[in-house]
Chain A
Amino acid sequence: MLQIGVPALGISLPGLLASDSQAVEAAGSSASRKSIIVFWTDGGLSQQDTYDLKPDAPAEYRGMYDPISTTAAGIQLGERLPQQARVMQHLSVVRSVHHDNGIHAPSAHWMLTGYFGPTLARNAAQKPSFGSVLSRSLGSRQPPMPAYITMPKSEAFGYQGAVYLGKAYNPFEVIADPNGDNFQVPNLSLPEGLAAQSVHSRRQLLKSFDTFRRDIDRSGGMEGLDTFKRQAMEMVAGGKMRAAFDLNAEDVKLRDRYGRHRYGQSALLARRLIEAGARCVNINTGNWDHHNDIQKGLDEHLPPLDRAVAALVEDLAARGMLEDVLVYCVGEFGRTPRMNGHAGRDHWADCFSVLLAGGGIVGGRAVGASEKNGGGVQDRLVTPLDLLATIYQQLGVPLDTHFLDGSGRPVSIVGSGKPIHELL
């Protein structure tokens, strides 16, 4: 009987002690209605085949795709993005994002946290991800829905976490693929035969037993763990969480419109989770590291991403939610303006593109410009911290917010970053 393996909680006592003072602060006190859905294009999406075409450049720069017109005057997209072209009046592109690293891990750290960080994939994150900053600063809109959710799980070399903000602000991982036949979040459903009344009894009992032994916890370090257990039990006890994760509650036609693939169903689920109270939902959308035969990769992955982004933006607009929900499509960097000898493109952080929509962002704009054939920033350099400052401001996080790092030093959430005023 007592061979039951209690799953390793992944929490060490020292880890908790280090973070307890911050982790116990009450979250969810913000009145902000705003939230964000992120499409993370892990590996690096090619800007010159999507959002920043160079139709007049020599063939090796131009690439495979022709430009197509959009509903925004003067803005063209690559021909594999017809759905986004159709809703371009809601979308804006920043074509002049720049940072100074060309390796996946440190670049992912840079784009997700705003700061340059580790130089090897195994190195621990040094700064919190923006999802965790939002979680800590604003909390969930409606507990017990977690504030910050990744699907199907966290990626990007572990840089989608909370680090010194405290483990309570790590993302909740959906784990399962929303496009799976019997999509279910592990451990969210009550085991068969377990009555909701028992869950309630056990919650009370557990609370009593834990309270009696506060003496073993003179430091207060158990508070963080209690938070997780309490939240987990609230998620299990009520029907609200299971209802939010139930994609079958959606109209079949709408599910089809999002696309019957991981990108589409993840985007639809993200909308449901935001409606039910999440603050930041991060969808990890496959891998875009197309060093070889980039056309094959993009022909396969652009259509589902295109459909998912466009359907989400349209759906949010139809529900009157677009003003409150920011949609952000971003990866760690772009890809080389000149094709390589393997019909692919390599890493490129000198000048690349990201997509934003909703949440008060003006649609139909293209901010910044790359050089004639791509390469460097020609106009209006935008840094990773500028992007984060834009997001924080739109979601209602004061830009003068600082958090103490592991050594007790206050670190700004935006550093030198300034909101991109052209988007507002």
Chain B
Amino acid sequence: MTACECERVDDPALTQALELVNSTEVHRKLTADNGFAKKLAANELDGSEIAAMIFPRVLGRPPRQEEITTVSEFLAAEPDRVEACRSLLWSLLATNEFLFNH
């Protein structure tokens, strides 16, 4: 991730992981009134369609079958659709795949 690790003496990785998983900045953007999560939730898309929209947008690739299943099951189980969309986006942004590729 960093261009030159030799410039970093010793990284307190847990401190930064805390920032990653609980950043108020990410929370602010996810909960913005005109944010992507809200728009996603406002339509009638089903789980596979939602997955087909968010995976390319976050990870730059289509979802795999097991990922589509996870998204569908998650959306079906969550009572609050907007919050569910936020959680989906949040989770993808916190994946190792996103961290290392983007």
The size of the chain B interface, using a CB distance under 8 A, is 55
A223-267: which residues lie under 8 A (CB-CB) from chain B?
Answer: 224-226, 228-229, 231-233, 235-236
Judged by DSSP, the binding face of B is: helix
Flag whether A9 is at the interface (Cβ < 8 A).
yes
The size of the chain A interface, using a CB distance under 8 A, is 66
Q: Are A232 and B21 within 8 A (Cβ)?
A: yes
Q: Are B13 and A213 within 8 A (Cβ)?
A: no
Q: Do A172 and B14 contact each other (CB < 8 Å), given the known contacts A4-B26, A206-B95, A232-B20? A: yes
Q: How far is the CA of A232 from the CA of B58 in the complex (A)?
A: 22
Q: Do A173 and B1 contact each other (CB < 8 Å), given the known contacts A202-B87, A206-B94? A: no
Flag whether A162 is at the interface (Cβ < 8 A).
yes
Determine how close the nearest CB of chain A comes to the CB of B102; give it in whole angstroms. Answer: 7
Flag whether B76 is at the interface (Cβ < 8 A).
no
Q: Are B14 and A208 within 8 A (Cβ)?
A: no
Residue from A1, A163, A201, A217 in contact with B74 in the complex, judged by beta carbons closer than 8 Å? A201
Q: How far is the CA of A173 from the CA of B14 in the complex (A)?
A: 8
Q: How far is the CA of A202 from the CA of B88 in the complex (A)?
A: 7
Flag whether A188 is at the interface (Cβ < 8 A).
yes
Q: Which of A190-198, A320-328, A339-347, A372-380 contacts B (4 or more CB under 8 A)?
A: A190-198
Determine how close the nearest CB of chain B comes to the CB of A315; give it in whole angstroms. Answer: 27
In the assembled complex, which residues on chain A have CB atoms less than 8 Å from the CB atom of B66? 212
CB closest chain-A residue, reference B84: A201
Q: How far is the CA of A194 from the CA of B17 in the complex (A)?
A: 18
Q: Are B18 and A208 within 8 A (Cβ)?
A: no
CB closest chain-B residue, reference A122: B9
Q: Are A193 and B87 within 8 A (Cβ)?
A: no
CB closest chain-B residue, reference A166: B13
CB closest chain-B residue, reference A241: B18
A1-38 vs B, CB cutoff 8 Å, 1 = contact: the mask equals: 11011111111111100000000000000000000000
Q: How far is the CA of A172 from the CA of B17 in the complex (A)?
A: 10
Flag whether A280 is at the interface (Cβ < 8 A).
no
Q: Are A190 and B22 within 8 A (Cβ)?
A: yes
Q: How far is the CA of A229 from the CA of B97 in the complex (A)?
A: 13
Residue from B8, B10, B18, B93 in contact with A4 in the complex, judged by beta carbons closer than 8 Å? B93
Q: Do A2 and B58 contact each other (CB < 8 Å), given the known contacts A12-B1, A186-B19, A205-B88? A: yes
Q: Are A187 and B18 within 8 A (Cβ)?
A: yes
B43-102: which residues lie under 8 A (CB-CB) from chain A?
Answer: 57-58, 64, 66-67, 70, 74, 78, 83-84, 86-100, 102
In the assembled complex, which residues on chain A have CB atoms less than 8 Å from the CB atom of B25? 4-5
Q: Are B20 and A6 within 8 A (Cβ)?
A: yes
Q: Are B9 and A9 within 8 A (Cβ)?
A: no
In the assembled complex, which residues on chain B have CB atoms less than 8 Å from the CB atom of A11? 1, 11, 13, 16
Q: How far is the CA of A195 from the CA of B80 in the complex (A)?
A: 12
Q: Could you name 7 residue pairs across A and B whose Cβ atoms are closer than 8 Å?
A: A1-B35, A9-B1, A14-B5, A172-B14, A210-B95, A213-B97, A224-B13
Binding site for B on A (CB under 8 A): 1-2, 4-15, 124-125, 146, 150, 153-154, 157-163, 167-168, 170-173, 175, 186-191, 193-195, 198, 201-202, 205-206, 208-210, 212-213, 216-217, 222, 224-226, 228-229, 231-233, 235-236
- Given A2-B58, A9-B1, 15 other A-B residues pairs in contact with their CB atoms under 8 A: A1-B57, A4-B29, A6-B20, A7-B16, A9-B20, A124-B6, A124-B10, A163-B10, A186-B18, A187-B19, A187-B23, A189-B22, A191-B28, A216-B96, A235-B18
Q: Which 3 A-B pairs have the closest CB atoms?
A: A161-B10, A158-B9, A10-B11
